[in-house]
Structure 1
Amino acid sequence: MTLPGAPFLAYRGQDLFMDDLSLNDLAREHGTPLYVYSRRAMLAALAPYQKALQGRPHLVCFAVKSNSNLAVLQTFARAGCGFDIVSGGELERVLAAGGDAGKVVFSGVGKSRREMKQGLEAGVRCFNVESTAELEVLSEVATQIGRTARVSLRVNPDVDAGTHPYISTGLKGNKFGVAHEVAVATYQRAAQLPGIEVVGIDCHIGSQITEIAPYLDALDRVLDLVEAIEATGVTLHHLDLGGGLGITYTDETPPAADVLIAQLLAKIDARGHGHREIVFEPGRSLVGNAGVLLTEVMFLKPGEQKNFCVVDAAMNDLMRPALYEAFMGIVNTRRREGATEVWDVVGPVCESGDWLGRDRQLSVQPGDVLAVLSAGAYGMTMASNYNTRGRAAEVMVDGSQAWVIREREVPADLFKHEHLLPN
């Protein structure tokens, strides 16, 4: 049985292993719910990006929103990556993990003045600006503190990435980016503003993209804009092609990163833009299949219409199924002999939307540990404390070594910043 995350995730005999460690043993040692990540899997996913871009100016910026644990960020910083951030808090995380502010691109449709100032003072590489209004405010903030903001404009190419509407970002109806039709005029305005230095162009059309065609369509539109912008006398040094490459959750067949990049670079070169620095902002494709969420089966609740397998992880630990109706594989960390039954895997949160998987064929007993697969991206970063539930612990493995990289929260952690009214 080949699982998403193989070869770093595989059964050995009856037990499911990540790298050289039994996930069942890790759950017994550290408790559940528990996120477990493979450092080796992350670096293996990064390698095709770096190999495909070798020999030309480039920067791979890990999208912090996909997994912001400090040890994860540290792993990519040590591998030479920059970072794509969308908040001042994410900038603080990158710096705390040893990341270089000079390799940070600051994205996001709603940066505050405080965040702009924070990014300028830290010396971020570039702001990906998403509106004329943001551009004007960034100019004000930069001139007030005597800094220059290096900017690229995020253009919206109106290309359908063929993904879930909540994670599509490149259509006219999406909130992101500067409309293709006004991009040239916006660049001319940017070039006139004090405290602004135009350095590039940015495009990001969505997440969990599994085909090459939308990338190529968007690239053609971006290169058309580059040529029109430079015809007005504005110079662009880099092309930021965003991220969004999908992973296999069930039967998806996304292209390999190096295959995608080779086709993009071929088009860039063919159109005479091979001298430009290339920036990519992958997130999910680097960490998604490098992580699992472990959860213990508490009760089995057969019913007339549905059989419910009640586990100790919930929608507050993993929002993707409830938010997107996302399918994520669920397997037992210890193979059981005998017949399977169809179960809905649900959590203890008081919401009917609290489910991790529906209609799953499983052989389970109370006390078993299940692994929710492909949970390395948009898992812990979207976790909450709903129902006053502490967030899960996180563990990083590398071969036969394991480190706790986030302690499990306890109730006192959750209300330590709250105050009772005076008598």
Structure 2
Amino acid sequence: MKFIDGGICAVKGVSAWGVKQDKYGLALIKADGSAAGVFTRNRVIAAPLILTREHLEMGRLSVVIANSGNANAFTGQEGIEDARVMAKLAAKGPGLDERTVAVASTGVIGHRLDLDIIRSQVVEVTGGLTDSEEGSTAAASAIMTTDTFAKEAAVELPDGTRIGGIAKGSGMIAPNMGTMLAFLYTDAAMDAWELGKHLKRAVDKSFNMVVVDGDTSTNDMVLITATGQMDHAVGHAKSHKVSRTIGHTDPEEFGQGLKAVCTALARMIARDGEGATRLIEARVTGAASESDAILAAKAVITSPLVKSAIFGRDPNWGRVVAAVGYSGAEMEQDRISLTFASNHSSVMLVEKGRIASTSEDTLKEIMGSKEVIISTDLGVGSECATAWGCDLSYDYVRINAEYTT
């Protein structure tokens, strides 16, 4: 498996484009095939998610339309009808059915969509659709809100199968996704059931392990579509009657490739957290169970005290130990080991419950790096987990204090 350029347009059968007008953007992605999705666990569910979940019952998508600047959330039945209008606008063209259109929105909650803006943008975007790398970047840029860069990733498996994705997200990011949209594509041949199984596993190990500020949004959505256009694909992609295989693609390799794309996008989201200056990677090993490892890792990256310490370049490891202690994970404090690291060096701060001697110069270099890795060995088992987050800066407060204005 190798990472390649091109984002979603590296995948056969995908064309895309996007535009941005002030804070309002629109992306359109065309790719016909079997599809699956996962959605927010917030009990306040935005109108586009309600409609898209309904459409996904068919197990097939042909178009994704996504707008930024307005979440179309908490807008009642009118909001659902507005989302339906977006689906109809995206479905204009020969052979397209609005029931195979996914609608996504991100932005301010509680305001009706300006459909006049969306209508004009649909015309512009439709005219720009392309299967080139520029199409993927344009779509990824159009769905940005407080993001500072477009998020794209793609891999090619040993047999030539490709998986690509774009995502947006920088604030209101918490476990189980938050103000996060991701659109994934593959040219493997696979039915909706198999896609959903792989997607759930990949999301649990990637997007659901990201925390920026602990808030969970009303609009989270991750979709995957399989075009079935690889030369070795089996089944009948045109009639969407694809068997539960991936042609000659090994299911394990496909799962690893999908996880790699999702993890790359998840790390970008964490790195681009609102006001963030550093990426935090929390690794937990030696846990009694995987669920305990997840609890501990998420506690570390969710802790405002840990995040503030990383921003201040303060190696206050006591805050990490405290977060692990209240996480609910099984632990014994005289078995814990704790290490701070960068991509170039590492320092053990606690070894089996005892404070270790440290190199102050190395520790200073680690705390000043753009990526701080916090590794905690609970010493009570063999399970592990990794989570990602960012520091908590003054700019986070400024950005969110001014968001609706």
TM-score between the two structures when normalised by the length of structure 2: 0.28
TM-score by length of 1: 0.28
Greater relative contact order (CA < 8 Å, ≥ 6 in sequence): 1
Larger C-alpha radius of gyration, 1 or 2? 1
